[in-house]
Structure 1
Amino acid sequence: MIKELKEALHFAATVSFWRMAVFWTVSLLISYFQLLTKRMFSRQAQSYPRCNSPISESLTPVCVITGATSGLGAAAAFSLSREGFYVVLVGRSSHLLSKIMSEIKTQNKDARVKAFVVDLSSFGSILEFKSSLQQWLLDCKLHSSVQLLINNAGILATVSRVTPEGYDQMMGTNYIGAFCLTKVLLPLLKRSPVPSRIVNVTSFTHRSVFDVQVDKESVSGICFLRSEQYPFASIYEYSKLFLILFSYELHQQLGLTDQPSHVSVNAADPGFVKTNIMREFPSCLPNLAFQVLRIVGLLQSPEDGVSSILDAALAPPEVSGVYFFGGGGRYVDSSVLSHNAKLAKELWNISYNLFMEASLASKETSSFVSENSS
């Protein structure tokens, strides 16, 4: 007990903890304030309706959800399986994936679910997943396409860890992994006979970033690995800001501003949700935070928080480049910095270079293994 208390006090004395306590709270309140002002003063419609999934005799819509072993990812899987999607669960734990699959089938015996073990911080694992997914679609005689990709996976690490590519694991999982997965699955999304969509699950915490350096070291998180005290709160904020910038830039590149496109892109902010993302914190601190947020009415369950993700996923096909927040099809404006087109372009170029470096390294590794096994 005394040891746990000392750990909690030491953790509470860090800059990152107070950044979360103050900046994140203010950022969340800004989003809710936007909802309030839109409701009071705007004459335009404040929400988008949800559409039915594109089910037909010739097409079973396929939805890929990352981070699907618990929390928001699992909640999205439950809901979208009821919408008629063939839900592909992606996660790091085979045990937890099997558990979620079983729970979904228990609640809905007609649900169609498949699971793949994937480490999104590893480019090699992402490539293996693409190959396995394509083979599975072929084996099941499904259309060789994907209709919905939900990049939900995210971690909040309190200590630095390094990915196989040498990047910071939190940045690798939260942003680089989502970028790379989207890049490798984009051909399958474009191949869909019906409009397809990408949903990037981001966070109000991006509002806590007022300026950011966009270069290889910051995007990969390498610069943070040299810090004396790991700035986990800032890294998490950056990763979520990058996801939004990526969403808007991809929206632009797909030509959605000037003309309708086959693939749409939306961002979804679930708000503050009670999940296990703070599992590396001293347990008393998340519990205290949950109690305070519950009292002031800002804490949501995964079943409630998933609403914005479903809104972003099931909005009309022409809806793209929108930041969904608050449920009920509602949306707000993300931060001013997140709309910096020059910054988004720079981020895209650096991310693409990282993607190509990882792709080349993966090919060289495969060639080396092949040569030495023959």
Structure 2
Amino acid sequence: MEVVKVVTEAIQFICTVQFWRMAVLWTLSLIFSVFNLFSHKISKSKGYSRSSPQDIKSNAATLGRLPICVITGATSGLGAAAAHALSKEGFYVVLVGRSSELLSKVMSDIKSQNNDASLKAFQLDLSSLKSIIKFKSSIQQWLMDSNIHPSIQLLINNAGILATSCRITSEGYDQMMAINYVGAFCLTKVLLPLLENSPVPSRVVNVSSFTHWNVWKMQSDRKTVSGTRFMKSRCYPYAQIYEYSKLCLLLFSYELHRQVGQAEKSHHLSVVAVDPGAVKTNIMREVPSCISQMAYMVLDLLGLLQSPESGARSIVDGALAPPEISGVYFCGGNGCCLKSSVLSHNAKLAEDLWATSCYLFHELQLAS
């Protein structure tokens, strides 16, 4: 009976438009990204070099302590791999995630490989503004209790989910849009004073995806950004929502970069987006296991699948790029930057999305 149930679920999953959207369009956009990377290498275009250990030590000397890096979604996969890599680069890494048990496990794993790693963990549910505000209070209290400068140097918005069924947050939003985009926007907004207060250059790194190429038209109204527009759909369009959320992160990155460039007080704050590519993580945990395993096997045979450690290279590239680098899209490691989609560079759409996101942020603040 159990086998019949598994097979039935897999067949039902395959017989949906959203599955074929993932299977066909996501694969094509991934191949397109890989082709762009290959063209970049053929043209022998140089990528951006990383900051040297001396630069990080210099920042530490100025601060009187290690520069602080906050990473969301750090309980597994890319977040955990990036946390490990950046702890070795000389950052005091603050791991953020929903599960205290998984956070403790990741901290133990990192410590077992790097005993000198400086780590701190906080629980945070990105789908809830109350949780985000509580996190800000907690990290400020920790900084004060530790008698260290009230600032952070690096925020990596890495957390993301692929939900195959509609779930509504306590604040009435679609959970996938809430975690993948709205939560990242709100977290950046509340932590912006700590980033701007840094006496050394600070940075926001937003983890996007090659799937953003599949969005050709997008509205930036309240219903779309909050995801409530999709709740009435007969078949939950999870693939499209995921694509929207990753495009929103890019538009947000470029708009924040533009605003930072115009603000005198933020002259040392930079913003970059990154694309880790296809990485074997647990993001497909809601997809029937036989299908996700088959997908990973095919991607691996095509040479398109990476380990979390390899995928995290683009995140580390974005984190360690020189301070003057801002408003770019890192992809593929080795400091390589590519052009994201034409729609992601639509300045009017980015402005409208920013305005809508700010409206939602203030609405959530009032509700909290």
1:128-167 equivalences in 2 (<5 Å): 128-167=134-173
Mapped partners of 1:25, 1:273: distance in 2: 13
- 1:63-98 CA-to-partner distances (Å, cap 9, x unmatched) read 000000000000011011111111101000011011
Structure 1: gaps spanning 5 or more residues: 363-374
Tell me which residue corresponds to 1:2.
4
Measure the CA separation in 1 of the matches of 2:196 and 2:264.
18
Deviation (angstroms), 1:226: 0.7
- C-alpha separation in 2, matches of 1:185 and 1:258: 18
CA shift for structure 1 position 55: 2.3
Q: Which residue of 1 aligns with 2:38?
A: 36
Q: Is the contact made by 1:134 and 1:144 (CA closer than 8 Å) also made in structure 2?
A: yes
Shift of residue 36, structure 1, vs aligned partner: 2.1
Within 5 Å, which residues of 2 pair with 1:169-188? 169-188=175-194
Cross-structure match for 2:253? 247
Q: Post-superposition shift, 1:40?
A: 2.9
Identity of aligned residues (%): 63
Q: Secondary structure at the match of 1:116?
A: strand
Correspondent of 2:335 among 329, 342, 367: 329
After superposition, residues 1-374 of structure 1 pair within 5 angstroms as 1-41=3-43, 45-51=45-51, 52=53, 53=56, 54-56=59-61, 58-255=64-261, 261-362=267-368
Whichever residue aligns with residue 78 of structure 1, its letter is H
Cα shift at 1:329: 0.6
Summarize the Cα distance change of 1:321–1:259 in structure 2 as closer, same or farther, 3 Å threshold: farther
2:21 is matched by which residue type in structure 1?
R
Contact 1:60 1:85 (8 Å CA) reproduced: yes
**Structure 2 residue ranges without an equivalent (≥5):** none
Q: Which amino acid aligns with 1:24?
A: W
Q: In 2, distance between residues paired with 1:233 and 1:17?
A: 8
Distance 1:59 1:246 in 2: 30
Shift of 1:199: 0.2
Matched letter for residue 48 of structure 1: Y
Q: Indicate if the aligned counterparts of 1:81 and 1:112 stay in contact, CA closer than 8 A.
A: yes
Give deviations 1:338-362, integer Å, cap 9, x for gaps: 0000000000000000001111111
Letter matched to residue 49 of structure 1: S
Return closer, same or farther for 1:318/1:260 CA change in 2, 3 Å cut-off: farther
* Residue 258 (structure 1) shift: 11
Q: CA deviation at 1:257?
A: 11
Q: 1:300 to 1:257 in 2, by over 3 A?
A: farther
- 1:258 and 1:13 mapped to 2: Cα distance? 54
Find the residue that maps to 2:49 and give its secondary structure: coil
Residues 140-165 of structure 1 show CA distances to partners (whole Å, capped at 9, x for unaligned) of 12211000000000000011111121
CA contact 1:254–1:263 (8 Å) conserved in 2: yes
Supply the distance in 1 between the matched residues of 2:309 and 2:248 (Cα, whole angstroms): 26
> Mean alpha-carbon deviation: is it higher for 250-259 or for 3-12?
250-259
Query: 1:256: Cα distance to partner?
Result: 6.7
| Shift in Å, 1:46 | 2.8
Equivalent pair of 1:256/1:264 in contact (CA under 8 Å): no
Does the aligned pair in 2 maintain the 1:55–1:61 contact within 8 Å? yes
The code of the aligned residue for 1:314 comes to L
Q: Against the structure 1 CA distance between its residues 38 and 256, is the aligned structure 2 distance closer, same or farther, given a 3 Å change threshold?
A: farther
SS at match of 2:203: strand
2:196–2:265 Cα contact (<8 Å) kept? no
**1:298-343 alpha-carbon deviations (Å, 9 max, x no partner):** 0000000000000000000000011000111101110000000000
Residues 259 and 320 (structure 1), Cα distance of their counterparts in 2 relative to 1, 3 Å cut = farther
C-alpha deviation, 1:59, in angstroms: 3.1
Distance 1:218 1:153 in 2: 20
- Count matched residues: 360
The two structures, once aligned, show a CA RMSD in angstroms of: 1.5
Once residues 138 and 5 of structure 2 are traced to their aligned partners in structure 1, the CA distance between those partners, rounded to angstroms, is 46
- Three-state SS of the structure 2 residue aligned to 1:88 is strand
Tell me the SS of whatever aligns to 1:114: strand
**SS class of match (1:137):** helix
Shift of 1:102: 1.0
